[in-house]
Amino acid sequence: MIQIKNLYFKYEDELVLNNINLRLNDSSYTAIIGANGSGKTTLAKHLNALLLPTKGTVIVDEIDTKKDQFNVRKNVGFIFQSPEDQLVHSIVEEDIAFGLENIGIETDAIKNKVRTILRLLNIEYLAKKNVNMISAGQKQLTALAGVLVMEPKYIVFDEPTTTLDNKNKRNIMGIIAKLNKKDKIGIILVTNLLSDIKYAENVVVMGEGKIIFNDKKSKLNKSILKKAGLDV
Amino acid sequence: MFKKLTFGQYTYKNSIIHKLDPRIKIITVVLLSATAFLMNSYYKFAVFSLFIFLLMILSKINFSSLLRNLRPFFFMFLFILLMYIFFSRNELDQGIRTIWKFILFIIIASILTFTTTITNMVSAIEKLLIPLKMIKINPRTIAVLIALTIRFVPSLFLYADRIRDARLARLGNLKTPKQIKLLFLPLIERVFKSASNLSDAMLSRNYTEKRTTYFNIIRLKYYDYISLSLLLMFILFILRVV
Ligand SMILES: Nc1ncnc2c1ncn2[C@@H]1O[C@H](COP(=O)(O)OP(=O)(O)O)[C@@H](O)[C@H]1O
Ligand SMILES: [Mg+2]
């Protein structure tokens, strides 16, 4: 369970998160939706200790993000908006192995895990490909493989579909839903598109650094979305 | 275009040079280049060139791609040659030797890049730099820097292309300094954005300078030691005996 209590966050003088309280249960699927600049990415980065609260706490499975970044990051994977910018190595399989090398997994185990993930995502054919020669959709899958291989309990996706065409969008949304249903990974999907929240069970709506709605998706209505400045 | 910009010309062949440990290959490139630099007599040149030719054959290197690597230097060679012809014709043979040395350097480097994957190259550099730990420089930091450079230089061209196309569509052409500035500022902005995203991505995957395990393991075999000894013997032979 991820528990956020009275979270405030400032970039220099600008208050970007204003008293956020939120609980994300194991194996849940939560969409965080809000207009550009509403603070979604800033909130998401608190979930795996890339940002630490100015005030308040973020607790991931009993670990305070201020105290132990290493274990928080092992539990919470993060897929960034631009797949282009999150691949470190030039060769796909090597990039997927990057996180495992960081946490000290032995070579044989790394090789096995990488192979398993490639198979799971149906991208074995990409293993030896150069990252600079593959499509945006394939880059996104490579980034996802690099996170999945760490066997995280939760994965945060920050606007994962913005650089993708419709076909790849559907593909990645399907994969995310399956990771939640089948593999019981807790999903936090950050987006500004209503079309992206199709599979989510809970929805958090953000506006100007505050949570203005947090409930089951079925309770969501147009006036709330309008209030958040989203197109309905 | 990406084919041209993507580093690494590695092509898989079943050759003994391909099988050599990448560390041995890097050391060999350094030693052979130094030897080429020190040579002076035509006789030594001939024996040395023959040796390099032998390495080319052993590595099953593709001659046309080798020529492609040499092509960009053609005008430089021509320039050197012309300079000698016009200004010091009596030392022309020295000019020819200079050019020949250059060609040898390029061939030696090409043999390395044609027979070694990027992955192995970076691993080898990381291993060869381990002594730097003594002066508190972490070899992994350098290896990751190299890996990132190889990874992101093509992206840089990609961004530049995208920005240029967007600008061209709006401005028509890019000739005046002001328009060039309009091209570079967004490029620099994009690069900083990328760097910041990338550092977040690396941290979120628990990047640290210290690591204990490797995806790619390179191990020295008997065969590598034998090759290195043969190489040293050859270099001694060239520099002392011939
Ligand atoms: N690195 C930063 N430094 C200063 N201000 C920032 C930084 N990142 C975001 N902001 C500001 O914080 C606010 C929320 O940004 P962000 O969390 O990225 O929103 P969203 O992801 O919902 O578009 C914006 O006003 C933005 O300008
Ligand atoms: Mg954002």
Chain B touched by A151 (CB under 8 Å): no
Chain A touched by B94 (CB under 8 Å): no
Atom 8 of ligand 1, nearest CA residue:
A42
Residue B76 lies in a domain: yes
pLDDT of residue B157: 84
Residue B212 lies in a domain: no
Atom 21 of ligand 1, nearest CA residue:
A41
- Ligand 1 centre to CA of A89 (Å) is 28
pLDDT of residue B1: 45
pLDDT of residue A211: 96
Coil, strand or helix at A207: strand
- Number of structural domains found in chain B: 1
User: CA–CA separation, B20 vs B12, rounded Å?
Assistant: 13
Closest of A90, A91, A87, A109 to residue A100, by C-alpha:
A109
Residue B196 lies in a domain: no
pLDDT of residue A35: 94
Nearest atom (ligand 1) to Cα of A40: 22
User: How far A204 CA lies from chain B's nearest CA (Å)?
Assistant: 23
Residue B192 lies in a domain: no
pTM of the model: 0.87
Closest of A107, A106, A86 to residue A95, by C-alpha:
A86
Confidence of residue B6 (pLDDT cuts 50, 70, 90): low
pLDDT of residue B171: 67
Share of chain B above pLDDT 90, in %: 46
User: CA–CA separation, B76 vs B138, rounded Å?
Assistant: 38
DSSP state of A118: H
pLDDT of residue B8: 61
Report mean pLDDT in 10-residue bins for chain A, 232 residues.
Answer: 97 94 97 95 96 97 96 96 91 95 95 97 94 92 97 96 90 95 97 92 95 93 88 74
pLDDT of residue B66: 86
Tell me which of A8, A9, A11, A193 to substitute to probe ligand 1's pocket, judged by most ligand atoms within 8 Å of the beta carbon. Answer: A11
Q: What is the pLDDT of residues B144-192, one digit of tens each?
A: 999 998 888 888 888 888 887 887 777 666 677 777 777 788 889 989 9
DSSP state of A9: E
Residue B134 lies in a domain: yes
Q: How do A55-60 and A2-11 pair as beta strands? A: antiparallel
Which residues in chain B are contacts of A97 at CB distance < 8 A? Answer: 215
Q: Which domains does chain A have, with CATH numbers?
A: 2-227 (3.40.50.300)
Residue range(s) defining the domain that contains residue B25: 16-152+219-241
pLDDT of residue B65: 83
Share of chain B above pLDDT 70, in %: 94
Residue B208 lies in a domain: no
Residue B214 lies in a domain: no
Under 8 Å CB pairs connecting chains A and B tally to 106
Q: What is the mean pLDDT of residues B120-146?
A: 91
A39 pocket-lining for ligand 1 (C-beta < 6 Å): yes
- Ligand 2 centre to CA of A224 (Å) is 20
ipTM for the assembly: 0.93
pLDDT of residue B181: 77
pLDDT of residue B2: 47
Suggest the residue from A45, A60, A88 to mutate for an interface test with chain B (most B CBs closer than 10 A). A88
CB–CB contact B206 A94 (8 Å): no
User: How far A105 CA lies from chain B's nearest CA (Å)?
Assistant: 6
CB–CB contact A90 B7 (8 Å): yes
CB neighbour list of residue B50: distance below 8 Å, 6 or more residues apart: none
B38-42, B72-76, B166-170, B195-199: which has the minimum mean pLDDT? B166-170
Q: What is the pLDDT of residues B202-229, one digit of tens each?
A: 999 999 888 789 998 899 999 999 999 9
User: CA–CA separation, A77 vs A48, rounded Å?
Assistant: 7
- DSSP per-residue letters across chain B: -HHHHSS--------HHHHS-HHHHHHHHHHHHHHHHH--SHHHHHHHHHHHHHHHHHTT--HHHHHHHHGGGHHHHHHHHHHHHHH-GGGHHHHHHHHHHHHHHHHHHHHHHHHS-HHHHHHHHHHHTGGGGGGT--HHHHHHHHHHHHHHHHHHHHHHHHHHHHHHHHHS---SHHHHHHHHHHHHHHHHHHHHHHHHHHHHTT--S-----SS-----HHHHHHHHHHHHHHHIIIII-
Q: What is the mean pLDDT of residues B52-78?
A: 89
Element of type H or E holding A154: strand A154-158
CB–CB contact B147 A90 (8 Å): yes
Residue B101 lies in a domain: yes
